[in-house]
Structure 1
Amino acid sequence: MKRKILIFCCLAFATPTFAEDVAPDDVVYSEYGEVEASLSGVAGDPDAGREIMVARGKGNCIACHEVTALKDEPFHGEVGPILDGAGDRWTAAELRGLVANPKNTFEGTVMPAFYRTSGFTRPGDAFTGKAATGPLSPLLTAQEVEDVVAYLQTLTE
């Protein structure tokens, strides 16, 4: 009987363990820039990813990319490729690598690295236009990267 009570107490008061985010400098990229492992350990939310794609203070992906599914949002750019069909063209690992640090795949790209905090020539403070005054934070959190990847995977032909 005491053993059953002990087991019950352990289960009742146990706290769930959550995966820790992979730190930006600890992300493992393949030779071609893919990131196989989730950065947060939590599945991405496509609805949250959509919001990040259009938010000017976050991803603002449509400033450079056109996305037909987001046609109701203003100011689509033409700098980057059209993202229609991204879920068919790229795997989740490739998309994760492209969002986290596209320079590992396309060395000369002007696309910002959304999950990088070191190795910059002249760092600024996110999208403020001001010089960094302390340690940099990534433009997106690990979970936000996963959310954007989840949204991009919904963009199929």
Structure 2
Amino acid sequence: MEETLPKNDRKKIYAPLAALALGTAVLSMPAAAGEMVKFKITGDEHTPEIKESLTGKPGDPKNGIKVMINRKKGNCFACHTIAAFKDTVPYHGEVGPSLDGVADRYEEGQLRMMLVDQKKYFPNTIMPAMYRKDGLTRVMKKFKGKTILTAQEVEDVLAYLKTLK
């Protein structure tokens, strides 16, 4: 004969376990869309940088290029060129600088800062902040309070940019 706990005893035992499991799952999840992870800007006013990863894990350069090409995400080719994609991506803009060799021109923390908020480097740029949601102007109502990229997408794009030497 199998022994079972009375219902009240089961609740006393399993409720804390369920709460612990749920809490662990929530804490291990990345920030949800629209939520931002905290980061520290270091350096000086002319060369600000974010040295630490936004996610604590390495970016995926293959996903980074997908984000860059995606017109609803990075849409990087609307303004920038990368020679390796001249035959595969139909349109390359000429508003922003070429991204060829960008990893030789800037440190990783500087590139991360530029992705998060380009205006920290170049105040008059038209490049949008990819990971900022406050203090922006002329934002469509449906995009208010949201970042363009997630923290992981910033790290993925950065991982790809680091290959451009």
**Segments of 4+ in structure 1 off by > 6 A?**
14-17
Q: Deviations over 1:72-91 (max 9, x none)?
A: 11110000000001111111
Unaligned runs of 5+ in 1: 1-13, 125-131
Give the structure 1 partner of residue 41 of structure 2. Answer: 29
Shift of 1:116: 0.2
Amino acid at match of 1:141: T
Q: Deviations over 1:28-55 (max 9, x none)?
A: 2223231111111110000000111111
Closer, same or farther: CA 135–121 of 1 in aligned 2, 3 Å? closer
Give the structure 2 partner of residue 104 of structure 1. Answer: 120
Give the structure 2 partner of residue 143 of structure 1. Answer: 152
Let me know the Cα RMSD of the aligned residues. 2.3
Amino acid at match of 2:134: S
3-state SS of paired residue (2:162): helix
- Given the two structures, how large is their TM-score scaled by the length of structure 1? 0.77
State the identity %.
44
Q: Distance in 1 between matches of 2:139 and 2:162?
A: 30
Amino acid at match of 2:132: R
Q: Figure out how many residues of one structure are paired with residues of the other and give that number.
A: 136
Tell which structure's C-alpha radius of gyration is larger: 2
Shift of 1:121: 2.6
- Higher RCO (C-alpha 8 Å, min separation 6): 1
Matches within 5 A, 1:1-157: 18=28, 20-21=30-31, 24=36, 26-30=38-42, 31=44, 32-71=47-86, 72-124=88-140, 132-133=141-142, 135-156=144-165
